Amino acid sequence: MKTNSYIAKVLMTLLLMLAFSTDAHSQILKKLKKRAEKAAERTVERRVDRETQEKTDEVLDSILEPGKKGEKPSPQEPLPTIVGGQETRNGGSNPNNNGQTGEAGISGSGGIAVYSKFDYVPGDQIIFYDDFTKDFVGDFPSKWNTNGGGEVVTMNDSPEKWMELLPGYNIYYIPDVPKLPEEYTIEFDVMAVGLSNKTSSTATMRIALSDDDKFKDGANFVHAQLPFCQYAAVGITMSNHINNKREIYSVVRADLREEVLQRPHVSIAVNKKRFRLWVNEEKHIDIPRIVPEGAVLTTLKFHMNNFKDGEERLFITNLKVAEGGLDLRRQLISDGKVSTTGILFDTGSDLIKPQSLGIIRQISQVLIQEGAMKLNIIGHTDADGDAGANLQLSKDRAQAVKNALVEVYGIEGSRLTTEGKGEAEPVGDNSTTEGKAQNRRVEFIKI
C-alpha cells in the first residue's frame, strides 16, 4: 500500500511539472515570437535606412561633387564687381540684379499680380533707417557696432551702398536702433554672391531680437535663421529662449533657393508676442506666442553662419525699423486721412516697389467698403536734388499709386485725385537719414 501511495504521489508531481512546463514553454515561445518579430522589423528598418541613405548619398554626390557618376559640373556664374576701400574684388557682371541699380519695381502687370495679396504693413513711425549713404566705401558703417569686421561696398556701377558681413565665430552686427517697442516692423534687403551647389546646408543669416545689447544671445531672445543652401530646401529655423530656457525650436518648410539669389526683401512684424516674417511677397512665419512675455527685447542683431570665407559673401542694405504697424483702414475711416512712409519707390523714380502693395491693398479695402468715399492722393519727397524735379516726382508718384488702385484693385478712377507737394512740407529733418525717410511719404485724404 505504501508503495502504491508513493507511486501515486510521484505520478501526480510529474503531471503537475508537465503542466507547468507546457505553460512555461508556451510563454517562452510567445516571448521568442515577439522578439523575432521586433528583430525582423529592425532588420527591415535598417535595410530601408541603408538603401535610403545610399540613394541620398548618390543624389548629394552628384550635386556636391559634379563630374562624379557621369554628372557634368555646373558652370559657375560670374560675380559682381564689389568695391570696398581701395580694393576691387570678384570681377564680372552681377547675376543677381541684371544690371539694375535697385530692386525691381512693379511697372509690369506680372509683378503687380504677384504682390496683389501681400498683407504686410510697415510701422508708421520710423525709429531707424540706414542705406549707408552717409558712410564712405571701405569703412565700417557709423550707425552700427560689431565684435568682428565688415565694410561698406558698392557693386558694379550702381551708387547704392551695402554693408558686407564677414563670416566668423560668434560675430554680431548690431545697428544703433533705439529700444525696441512692443509693436514694430523691420525691413531690409539682402544680397548673397558666390553661392553654389556646394554652399552648406547650415549657411544661414540669423536675425535676432535680444535682451542683451552686446555680443551675446542673452537670457531672452527670438531667432529667425534664413537659409542660403542651394542643393536642398532647408527651411527657416525659428527658436526662442525665455529666462535661459528654450521654449520653441522649429524648422518651417520653405524653399528659398531662388529667392536668395535674387536680392530678397525681408519684412518682419512684431506685435507683442506675435512674430511674422515675409520673404518678398510670401509670408513664411506667423507664430502667435514666440516673443517672451514680460521680457524687454531691446536689441536687433544680425549674424551669419557657415559661409565659406572668401567665396560666399553676404551683404545688407536699406534697413528700416518703424514703430507701429497700425491698421490703416480704421485710421482712414475714423480720421478721414492717413499718411504713410511705407509706399516705396525706386530712387528718383515713380516705379513702386512691390513690397508696398500691402498698404495700397488696405486703402483699396476701405474704398470698396465705403462706396461713396473719394480720396486725394498726395506725394511728398525729401530735399535731395532739384526742387522742381522733386515736385514733378511727387506728382508722378501720387499718380502711380492711383494707377495701382485702379489697375490692380479695380477702384473707379473718378473717385481718386492726385497732387504732389515735392519737398515743400517736410515732417522730418532732411539732414538725417531717418528724417529723409519720414519725408518720403504718401498721404490719403478724404474729400
CATH number, domain containing residue 90: 2.60.120.200
CB 183 within 8 A of CB 154: no
CATH number reported for the structural domain that contains residue 435 in this entry:
3.30.1330.60
User: What is the spatial distance between Cα 429 and Cα 383, in angstroms, rounded to a whole number?
Assistant: 10
Is 281 part of any domain? yes
CB 228 within 8 A of CB 204: yes
User: What is the spatial distance between Cα 222 and Cα 283, in angstroms, rounded to a whole number?
Assistant: 18
User: Both 139 and 166 in a single domain?
Assistant: yes
Is 75 part of any domain? no
User: Both 105 and 128 in a single domain?
Assistant: yes
User: What is the spatial distance between Cα 333 and Cα 182, in angstroms, rounded to a whole number?
Assistant: 25
Looking at 267, 297, 323, the residue that finishes a domain is 323
User: Both 208 and 169 in a single domain?
Assistant: yes
pTM of the model: 0.68
Q: Provide the domain limits for residue 56.
A: 2-70
User: Both 153 and 277 in a single domain?
Assistant: yes
Rounded to the nearest 5 degrees, what angle is found at the Cα of 214, between the Cα atoms of 130 and 137? 35
Q: In total, how many domains does the chain have?
A: 3
User: Both 371 and 233 in a single domain?
Assistant: no
User: Both 305 and 402 in a single domain?
Assistant: no
Is 380 part of any domain? yes
Looking at 70, 93, 113, the residue that finishes a domain is 70
Per-residue pLDDT of the chain (447 residues; tens, 9 = 90+): 545 555 555 556 555 555 545 454 455 445 545 554 554 454 444 444 444 444 444 443 433 333 333 333 343 455 677 776 544 444 333 333 333 334 444 444 445 556 667 778 888 788 999 999 999 999 999 999 999 999 999 988 888 999 999 888 889 999 999 888 888 999 999 999 999 999 999 999 999 999 999 999 999 999 999 999 999 999 999 999 999 999 999 999 999 999 999 999 999 999 889 999 999 989 999 999 999 887 788 999 999 999 988 889 999 999 999 998 667 888 899 899 999 988 989 888 999 988 788 889 889 999 999 999 999 999 999 999 999 999 999 999 999 999 999 998 999 999 999 999 999 999 999 998 889 989 999 999 999
Is 76 part of any domain? no
User: Both 61 and 187 in a single domain?
Assistant: no
User: Both 339 and 401 in a single domain?
Assistant: yes
